[in-house]
Amino acid sequence: MKRILMTSAAAVAFAGVAQAGGVDRSGQSIGIIFERGNYAEFSYGMVKPSVSGTDLAVVGPTGAVVYPGGRGTGGVAGSHNLPGLAFKYDLNDKLSVSVIYGQDYGADVLYPLGDSVNLGGTMAKLNSDVVTGILRYKFNDSFSAHAGIRASKASGEVRLSGIAYGPVNGYNVKFDEAWGTGYLVGGAFEKPEIALRVALTYFSKISHDFDTTETFATSIPLPTGGAIPAGVPLTSVSSVDTPQAVNLDFQSGVAKDTLVFGSIRWVDWSSFKIDPKVFTPVTGGGLVSLEDSTTYTIGVGRKFSDNWSGSVFATWEPKGDPLVSPLAPTNGYRGIGVAAVYTRDNMKITMGARYLDLGDAQPETGTPDTARASMSGNHAVAFGVKVGFSF
């Protein structure tokens, strides 16, 4: 049963690779805190999305067609890699410490120039590195509590390009690297004789204060008089919060050498705002507007031999408003994944793969929100490997 537990943890680790249009990349798994004894692991994942669509028509204030639409957007989502490190050490029979490194959030979106007329040249890049330290205290064999500190380094850049952006076509903003800190807290109930575990973890938001440089491609008149100069870098500080989240993870043995497992993850994406100092009052809105997401995962794991075990799992994120930010151009998803674990002596090798059917969406701009493209028939595939050692 111990190997089955390892399999379920591996499956969940490979599950969180495309929430919120790719912004949430890790799912913030802390499953390593439940490993038996001292343990260290290295993981590496690769995600290859395929996201494209077609321009919609643009109609002017008088009702005249400015652009009939119909051009393809080209592939807009870039592939990305997900390295990870984790370490767990027992200080005594009740208290343990874990350290986890991952790239929890990221974005790599580019509408190629020469394809979409509405959005061609629009891009967003977000990079993050997160280190989490966790202490876990076992009150007894059934109840435990865990809490920790999270340190996050992030940076990014956004460019708006295409006729859909009107006077702010060509706008560019860069966010220099900044650090922020947050915390997590949770607890777990376990019944080892049936491999039952239910764990609940709350992750706080993390605030970053970015040194920000904005540039407008054309001069923008201001309601109060004067104008924003074209091509002149404008510097300020932008406060951006990565969102709070809650993970509920569960597993239970249901038959000899067989385990069911799953998770529910809620993320407060509606509080994730990017509001540069100059852009926001000029346009009446920020750069990104996302809806809260809830992601469900359910699976089954089975031990096949002393060395091999495996699992299969399904995951689902319900669709929201079909009008989405061009910087996160999908709307929910359905997916299926598999994982296999080979265990020998103190070494464990996990291999996993996952397929996602990404929901149709319509990137929008303007006030009121106006659909500028139709994204449909999209998907993503993910592969990963994890090597762990007990000591």
Give residue 117's pLDDT. Answer: 97
**Distant-in-sequence, close-in-space partners of 145: CB < 8 Å, separation ≥ 6:** 136, 137, 139, 185, 186, 187, 188
Largest pairwise CA distance in the chain: 76
Residue ranges of the alpha helices (H) in the chain? 2-13, 279-283
Asked if residues 262 and 297 have their Cβ atoms less than 8 Å apart, the reply is: yes
Distance between CA atoms of 10 and 341, rounded to whole angstroms?
A: 8
Judged by DSSP in three states, 140 sits in coil
Judged by DSSP in three states, 225 sits in coil
Single out the residue of 253, 245, 145, 247 nearest to residue 189, CA to CA.
145
Judged by DSSP in three states, 171 sits in coil
Q: What pLDDT tens digit does each residue of the chain (391 aa) get?
A: 444 444 444 444 444 443 444 588 888 999 999 999 999 999 999 999 999 999 999 998 888 899 999 999 999 999 888 999 999 999 999 999 999 999 999 999 999 999 999 999 999 999 999 999 999 999 999 999 999 999 999 999 999 999 999 999 999 999 999 999 999 999 999 999 999 999 999 999 999 999 999 999 999 887 777 889 999 999 999 999 999 999 999 999 999 999 999 999 999 998 999 999 999 988 888 898 888 999 999 999 999 999 999 999 999 999 999 999 998 899 999 999 999 999 999 999 999 999 999 999 999 998 788 999 999 999 999 999 999 999 9
* Token pair for 360: 């149709």
Distance between CA atoms of 348 and 308, rounded to whole angstroms?
A: 10
pTM for this model (two decimals): 0.92
Domains of the chain as residue ranges with CATH: 2-168+178-208+240-390 (2.40.160.60)
**Distant-in-sequence, close-in-space partners of 282: CB < 8 Å, separation ≥ 6:** 168, 220, 222, 228
Asked if residues 208 and 155 have their Cβ atoms less than 8 Å apart, the reply is: no
